Amino acid sequence: MGEPTELGGRRRRVQVPVRERALRVEGLVVIDGHRAWRQALAERLQAGGYRLQQTAHFLLAEREHEPRRLLVHFFAPQELDADLGAWFLTELRPAGWLADPEDLARLFAGVIGSCDPRDPTRAWRRYAENTLQRYRALLRAGSAAGPVASPDANSPVTVFASLYRRVWTLLQQEPAGAAGRLLDAGCSFGFLPLLLAEACPGLREIVGLDLRPDAFLIAQQLAEERGWQQIRFVQADLCRADQVAALGQFDTVVALHVLEHFSPAESEQVLSHLLEVTRRRLIIAVPYEEQPEPAYGHRQTFSPAALEELGRRCLQRWGERQGRYWCEECAGGLLVVERGHTSAA
């Protein structure tokens, strides 16, 4: 079966087999509808017995027999970046297609993979490069005009660009040669290690840690291609003291939007393990939410008061009388804990 596509401002029938732009992820079939004639595609699906819902970026189709669910997306290749998650939450959750992290993972895999079903890895690479390009543009803008503008809470890219910019600024304040080793705990796709390799040549080693090695696979490949031998990615469980301790000591440890993914008891364990491997500075960022976001797998919320208390507990665990901590507003809350200072921030 083929579908007509739109070329420029003219409609011309170009038959493109659906199987060449479709990918099945478990029970969900995702179709790349970029440049497709949306109305003709909708009519074809209705003729096949599907009930349709339409949003700005998606055509959602359901029926009683297989394939029961089809999701058509209309993203151009250059639009594949980390902001996809915001569109999923805004447009697919109200329709009942997104409830938990498993749903979110299926949507990412389907939408990105459908753009190159014969070689999904190539599509994921495009996603990574598009996201990195946006981060670089935002960080350059921040460098020229001060901090990144107040982030749009619905844009993961602008949220994390603000956090990455703040981490970079703190590293720039270090004396020459003091930056040393950095651990990105819960690195996910591994974008921060790549950006820091470009922006902070003084870092001797950058380690990205995540529980899921498939998340940082593309970043690992990009680092190898660019000859960035200072970058290393490892699979480890932050709840396992032995796995974290095996990585050694780090001058800076970063955990950006990580603790909210753990229960309060688990996050205390994670915090203890990170403090054990922090030689100089620990940077923690958390979102401020009224309720934990289930689609992202959040299991607890933080407030400014809770973050202040977290900073106090960090110094107590270190036994630091001359250490310091402070909290900032940065895409939620940012906590910086440092050893060996004599004055409060």
Tell me the pLDDT tens digit for each residue of 210-245.
999 999 999 999 999 999 999 999 999 999 999 999
Lateral strand order in the sheet of 58-62? 22-25, 28-32, 69-73, 58-62, 51-54
Token couple for 193: 């290690």
Mark which of 64, 85, 118 sits at the end of a domain: 118
Q: Does residue 48 share a domain with residue 174?
A: no
Q: Does residue 65 share a domain with residue 45?
A: yes
Q: Does residue 200 share a domain with residue 323?
A: yes
Model confidence over 153-169: pLDDT tens digits?
689 999 999 999 999 99
Mark which of 118, 138, 167 sits at the end of a domain: 118
- Nearest Cα to 20, choosing from 115, 122, 121, 108? 115
Q: What pLDDT, on the 0 to 100 scale, is given for residue 143?
A: 58
Token couple for 135: 């981060």
The tokens 């997306």 sit on which residue?
A: 73
Q: Does residue 283 share a domain with residue 328?
A: yes
CA distances, 32 to each of 21, 52, 57, 91 (Å): 5, 16, 11, 17
Q: What percent of the chain has pLDDT over 70?
A: 88
Q: Does residue 70 share a domain with residue 14?
A: yes
Burial class (CB in 10 A: 0-12, 13-18, 19+), 95: middle
Least confident window among 139-143, 192-196, 206-210: 139-143
Q: 92: domain range?
A: 2-118
Q: Does residue 93 share a domain with residue 211?
A: no
Residue 176 pLDDT exceeds 80: no
Q: Does residue 86 share a domain with residue 56?
A: yes
Average of per-residue pLDDT values in the chain = 91
Least confident window among 25-34, 148-157, 286-295: 148-157
Q: Does residue 130 share a domain with residue 104?
A: no
Q: Does residue 194 share a domain with residue 168?
A: yes
Q: What is the DSSP letter of 238?
A: T
Residue 9 pLDDT exceeds 80: no
With respect to residue 344, please indicate whether it lies within any of the assigned structural domains.
Answer: no
Q: What pLDDT, on the 0 to 100 scale, is given for residue 148?
A: 52
Contact partners, residue 210, CB within 8 Å, separation at least 6:
186, 187, 188, 190, 216, 233, 235, 236
Q: What pLDDT, on the 0 to 100 scale, is given for residue 186?
A: 98
